[in-house]
Chain A
Amino acid sequence: MTSPRRRRLDSVAGQVFKAAGIVALGIAVLFPIYWMAVIALTPTGFSRSLTSLVPAEVTLENFVTLFTERPMLRWLWNSIIVAAASSFLSLAFGTSCGYALSRLRFRGAGLVLILVLATQMMPATSIVVPLYILFRDFGLLDTMQGMVLGHVSLVAPLAIWMAKGFFDSIPADLEGAARIDGCTRLSAYWHVALPLAMPGLAAIFIYGFVTSWHDFLFAKTLINSQALWTAATGISSFRGEYFTLHELQMAAALTFALPVVIVFLVMQRRIVSGALSGSVR
């Protein structure tokens, strides 16, 4: 038998361990971001000579250069257009397919779901070449539409699965009640299923946005014109064969991360659990 005093000591030690673990994890995760910020705030060409964890001289000139001498704004705008369009399209596609797969009983529904999932098992690198050939034949190479389509193909399968899961969790009786209360199937979907699936739809949107925003492979392969580059391609352009503009690249990377953080913060409130509680027992 352990004494109460011993147990209390154990629990204090446990708390200390836990706190130390959390701090260590936090440092491991946040330090690279901090170091990005440090390099981005160091004058161009001086990051290699940094000697301490805290920069001696802080400047915003890299950010200014980025927006005045480089088309960063253009790249960001392209990224926003592509990410927003592909996540909206994936969302529309995912919710309609997911709803149908959740609510309609038809032969082969299971097979459809497995085939949809199978497309996700293919690594993007293995589909980029066939996609390139397809896009060339359809005249979609080096166009924004082409890139959006490419990204939809990346996001839609998981969007369908996620949407099906969310609709599965909404009791069918709710729509039954709505249909008795005067709704058609479509308006029951609109008035009842869709609002209830909102947290799920927000999650799908974020997933689609982030996937498209972060994509480098498709952006680099399917687009040539600098005017159509997304920010991901833009950032990579700071890396030359013989030297890399680290400070500018880090400033661009920080700027690049910002919109995703904003989208997440805005949508986060939508992703709340318990929205369904109380409807049915």
Chain B
Amino acid sequence: MADVTFKGVEKTFGNLKVIHGVDIDIADGELVVFVGPSGCGKSTLLRMLAGLEENTGGEILIGTDVVNGLPPKDRDIAMVFQNYALYPHMTVAENIGFPLRMQGLTAAERKKHVVRAAELLGLESYLERYPRELSGGQRQRVAMGRAIVREPRAFLFDEPLSNLDAALRVQMRKEVKLLHRRLEATMIFVTHDQVEAMTLADRIVVLRDGRVEQIGTPEDVYRRPASTFVAGFIGSPPINLIAGTVRPLPGKLGLVPDANPALTFDLPEEFDFSSGQHITLGVRPENLVLVSPAGKQELEGKVVFCESSGQESAVTLDLGGLQLVSSIWGEEAPLIGNMVGVEIRAGEVLLFDERGIRVDPGVAEQEHRDFTDAE
């Protein structure tokens, strides 16, 4: 096992630059998830680490070795592909044993390792079958077996669960997590599914347009997103982002949303904004509390849509052109068309400056100045 380091890694396809200087440090034994929308470069980063694509700038290190230019076979990594990439002309046993065959192990030695890997994944009774005779989940397990049969320095997973149905995905997610715990191996997992990222990762790397947007624990990226992009990408239902202008209120500052200037949201006093500044207020749906029926509170909205997943309901409210989503647990959702009162849970707001960067209490102006100086 080894740690993995990306140092200023860049990738250009022809004239198109897709990765713009990425720096990531992954510790030995860590499970890191690269997450981001399609086209953000997460798979390209993984393929560069595997050696299937060459980085056009920067350095990639596995352990202390710079692996730039090294062919995949010499990088000592294992990879599970989205489409399984099982060898169709080989049986399950031959598929799992293939990396060992390439290492020159004898048939008897290979068999020992293959059986052990198959037992770990519950594939013992399928060893003589061909991939075409297996279900999607079994194929994915074979692909994992092929990865774990030798002891590589790092495991790479390229969206391995996205071809599975929902129930199987949850089960395989658990198996990946258990496998990580059992092998204590360095694992890098690529996905576009933020739920997968949140549930699996020790640390999450959020990518956007070939740049790292934030690196942090699931708790970090959820509670303290670095930007409106991260805040919007992580969390389901997504965070409510209210763009507006800071206006003075008697004794404090308030936010007047662009979507409905008749409304005002109080801004926490500890933030240091100036009047006229254009900022964004973020509220997670679970921090937007419905107070029904509409009473003395300042905000009031009309229920326009409701999505229930049994335990949880996502209620979409219209506040005179400003649409907000609130999630409620275990209660009956209000009827569509009803007016309800809305309250933001005290202290549970995130604030982002005009560039979409999150600001911490009291340091808004300071941070802004630092940023402009650096530019």
Contacts of A171-194 to chain B: CB distance below 8 A: 171, 173-174, 176-185, 187, 191-192
B11 CB to closest chain A CB (Å) equals 15
Contacts of A243-281 to chain B: CB distance below 8 A: 274-281
Q: Is the CB of A279 within 8 A of B103?
A: no
**Most-contacted residue by chain A among B88, B131, B132 (CB, 10 A):** B88
B86's nearest neighbour on chain A, judged by CB, is: A279
B345 CB to closest chain A CB (Å) equals 44
Please report the C-alpha to C-alpha distance between residue A124 and residue B239 in the assembled complex, in whole angstroms.
70
Q: Is the CB of B71 within 8 A of A179?
A: yes
**Most-contacted residue by chain B among A179, A181, A195, A276 (CB, 10 A):** A181
Contacts of A48-86 to chain B: CB distance below 8 A: none
Asked if B134 lies at the interface with its beta carbon under 8 angstroms from chain A, I say: yes
B243 CB to closest chain A CB (Å) equals 41
Please report the C-alpha to C-alpha distance between residue A5 and residue B221 in the assembled complex, in whole angstroms.
71
**Most-contacted residue by chain A among B52, B75, B163 (CB, 10 A):** B52
B13 CB to closest chain A CB (Å) equals 10
Q: Is the CB of B134 within 8 A of A181?
A: no
Contacts of B75-96 to chain A: CB distance below 8 A: 75, 77-79, 81, 83-89
Residues A174 and B87 in contact in the complex (CB < 8 Å), given A179-B52, A180-B73, A279-B131? yes
B102 CB to closest chain A CB (Å) equals 3
A36 / chain B contacts, CB cutoff of 8 Å: none
Please report the C-alpha to C-alpha distance between residue A131 and residue B146 in the assembled complex, in whole angstroms.
53
Residues A181 and B88 in contact in the complex (CB < 8 Å), given A176-B52, A281-B136, A281-B163? no
Asked if A196 lies at the interface with its beta carbon under 8 angstroms from chain B, I say: yes
Asked if B130 lies at the interface with its beta carbon under 8 angstroms from chain A, I say: yes
A104 CB to closest chain B CB (Å) equals 14
A280 / chain B contacts, CB cutoff of 8 Å: 81, 83-86
B350 CB to closest chain A CB (Å) equals 39
B134's nearest neighbour on chain A, judged by CB, is: A278
The count of residues in chain A whose C-beta lies closer than 8 Å to any C-beta of chain B is 26
Interface membership of chain A positions 185-212, coded 1 if the CB is closer than 8 angstroms to chain B and 0 otherwise: 1010001100110000000000000000
B189 CB to closest chain A CB (Å) equals 16
B79 / chain A contacts, CB cutoff of 8 Å: 176-177, 180
Q: Is the CB of B130 within 8 A of A278?
A: yes
Please report the C-alpha to C-alpha distance between residue A177 and residue B99 in the assembled complex, in whole angstroms.
10
Asked if B301 lies at the interface with its beta carbon under 8 angstroms from chain A, I say: no
Please report the C-alpha to C-alpha distance between residue A159 and residue B343 in the assembled complex, in whole angstroms.
72
B143 CB to closest chain A CB (Å) equals 8
Q: Is the CB of B85 within 8 A of A196?
A: no
Please report the C-alpha to C-alpha distance between residue A279 and residue B87 in the assembled complex, in whole angstroms.
6
Q: Is the CB of B132 within 8 A of A278?
A: yes
Q: Is the CB of A279 within 8 A of B85?
A: yes
A170 CB to closest chain B CB (Å) equals 9
Please report the C-alpha to C-alpha distance between residue A101 and residue B158 in the assembled complex, in whole angstroms.
27
Please report the C-alpha to C-alpha distance between residue A176 and residue B47 in the assembled complex, in whole angstroms.
9
B356 CB to closest chain A CB (Å) equals 36
Please report the C-alpha to C-alpha distance between residue A183 and residue B85 in the assembled complex, in whole angstroms.
15
Residues of A within 8 A of B (CB): 171, 173-174, 176-185, 187, 191-192, 195-196, 274-281
Residues of B within 8 A of A (CB): 47, 50-52, 71-73, 75, 77-79, 81, 83-89, 98-99, 102-103, 130-134, 136, 139, 146, 163
Which 4 residue pairs spanning A and B have beta carbons closest together?
A: A278-B132, A182-B102, A280-B83, A279-B88
25 contacting pairs across A/B (C-beta < 8 A): A171-B83, A173-B83, A176-B50, A176-B72, A176-B85, A177-B81, A177-B85, A179-B52, A180-B51, A180-B79, A181-B102, A182-B73, A184-B71, A191-B87, A195-B89, A196-B88, A277-B132, A278-B131, A278-B132, A278-B133, A279-B85, A280-B81, A280-B86, A281-B83, A281-B163
